[in-house]
């Protein structure tokens, strides 16, 4: 394929990914509202459409036609760039998600590293949005988010290094191939737990939702945003949540591997199970305090992830024989 054709092909899949993330956000927000309702013994949205099924569709239409309010003293350029830099990396990570055995947009030779590196840009987006808003709550929210984001990035990355060692490749398809008989969850249970918990922190979910702790920071970094730009933050949140859950499936649960059903179905079932788990946790557990959060990252998860690395090395030798 020529350069221009590859470029156009990439752009096409970019548009497809954006559509997927949009649809996912629409569905997941509704699902989350329904689940939270169930957990808190409410019914959730009920009025728009049967059982409130069209609620988020209506919300999106409403958000598109909302006024775009910007604080007078906000840094205009950074204020506009913030939501984009938050949402775009989350969508970019969809390029390497294997939705089924042959269904992967681009099987990069550094796919795993790409998945860890690209969503990292989100930290910059959050900081930028918080700083640009010229609002004390946003400012604190932005600072806290990026501090939390970078702190949990290290144990999370180290947990993935263990998987890379076992798989012997950074290519997503090779990681899946290596799990054809035994998923890495069996060889590396500690790594799975580490990945899952640090992922909660990376996507700002309770019990790690300090950046947007409603009771102390109003809405954190997106306090001053409205309309479509505000929607972009939610696109980022749910896109990143799905992508991270998908990668938990890829790295530890064997991706689409499974009996009887096609790979695509297995992949979605496993991923959505993890998404459900995060929602369940969110509506059950209270929130950590800011200093507890940092202590947990550096004094518990980082040492544990080093231990996990040693265990992964031993497991690797046992498997390799």
Which residues, 6 or more positions from 168, have their beta carbon under 8 angstroms from its beta carbon?
Answer: 174, 178
Which residues inside 20-59 make contact with other proteins, applying CB under 8 A? none
- Which residue lies nearer to other proteins by CB, 194 or 274? 194
- Three-state DSSP class for 98? strand
- Which residue lies nearer to other proteins by CB, 6 or 284? 6
Distances in Å between the Cα of 293 and the Cα atoms of 79, 121, 137, 260 are 28, 21, 19, 42
Size of residue set near other proteins by CB under 8 A: 83
Among 37, 44, 169, 311, binds other proteins (CB under 8 A): 169
Site pattern 63..102 for other proteins (x: CB under 8 A):
-xxxxxxxxxxx---------x--xx--xx--x-------
- Which residue lies nearer to other proteins by CB, 158 or 197? 158
Among 26, 79, 153, 207, binds other proteins (CB under 8 A): 153
Three-state secondary structure string covering 146-171: HHHHHHHHHHHHHHHHHHHHHHCCCC
Q: Residue 301 CA to chain centroid, in angstroms?
A: 19
- Which residue lies nearer to other proteins by CB, 260 or 320? 320
> What distance in Å separates the CA atoms of residue 147 and residue 142, rounded to the nearest whole number?
9
Check if the beta carbon of residue 103 is closer than 8 Å to that of residue 173: no
Which residues inside 212-251 make contact with other proteins, applying CB under 8 A? 218, 223-224, 227-229, 232
> What distance in Å separates the CA atoms of residue 305 and residue 135, rounded to the nearest whole number?
37
Which residues inside 170-199 make contact with other proteins, applying CB under 8 A? 170
Q: CB of residue 196 vs other proteins: minimum separation in angstroms? A: 18
- Which residue lies nearer to other proteins by CB, 26 or 278? 26
Among 54, 154, 185, 281, binds other proteins (CB under 8 A): 154
Any idea what the Cα angle at residue 120 is, between residues 19 and 233, rounded to 5°?
A: 45
């Amino acid at each position: 394929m020529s350069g221009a054709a590859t470029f156009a092909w990439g752009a096409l899949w970019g548009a497809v990914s954006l559509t997927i993330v949009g649809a996912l956000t629409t569905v997941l927000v509704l699902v989350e509202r329904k689940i939270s309702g169930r957990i808190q013994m409410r019914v959730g949205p009920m009025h728009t459409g049967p059982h409130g099924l069209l609620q988020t569709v209506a919300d999106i239409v409403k958000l598109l036609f909302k006024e775009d309010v910007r604080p007078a003293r906000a840094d205009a350029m950074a204020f506009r760039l913030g939501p984009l830099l938050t949402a775009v990396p989350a969508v970019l990570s969809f390029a390497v998600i294997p939705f089924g055995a042959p269904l992967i947009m681009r099987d990069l030779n550094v796919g795993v590293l790409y998945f860890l590196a690209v969503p990292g840009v989100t930290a910059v987006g959050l900081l930028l949005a918080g700083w640009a808003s010229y609002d004390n709550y946003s400012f604190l929210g932005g600072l806290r988010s990026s501090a939390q984001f970078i702190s949990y990035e290290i144990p999370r990355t180290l947990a993935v290094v263990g998987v890379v060692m076992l798989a012997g490749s950074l290519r997503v398809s090779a990681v899946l191939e290596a799990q054809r008989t035994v998923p890495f969850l069996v060889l590396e249970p500690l790594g799975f737990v580490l990945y899952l918990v640090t992922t909660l922190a990376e996507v700002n979910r309770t019990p790690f939702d300090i950046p947007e702790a409603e009771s102390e920071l109003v809405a954190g970094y997106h306090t001053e945003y409205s309309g479509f730009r505000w929607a972009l933050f939610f696109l980022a949140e749910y896109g990143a949540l799905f992508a991270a859950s998908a990668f938990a499936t890829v790295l530890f649960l064997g991706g689409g591997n499974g009996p009887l059903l096609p790979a695509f179905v297995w992949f979605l079932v496993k991923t959505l199970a993890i998404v459900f788990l995060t929602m369940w946790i969110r509506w059950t557990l209270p929130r950590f305090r800011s200093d507890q959060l940092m202590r947990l990252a550096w004094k518990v998860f980082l040492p544990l992830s080093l231990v996990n690395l040693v265990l992964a090395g031993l497991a690797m030798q046992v498997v390799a024989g």
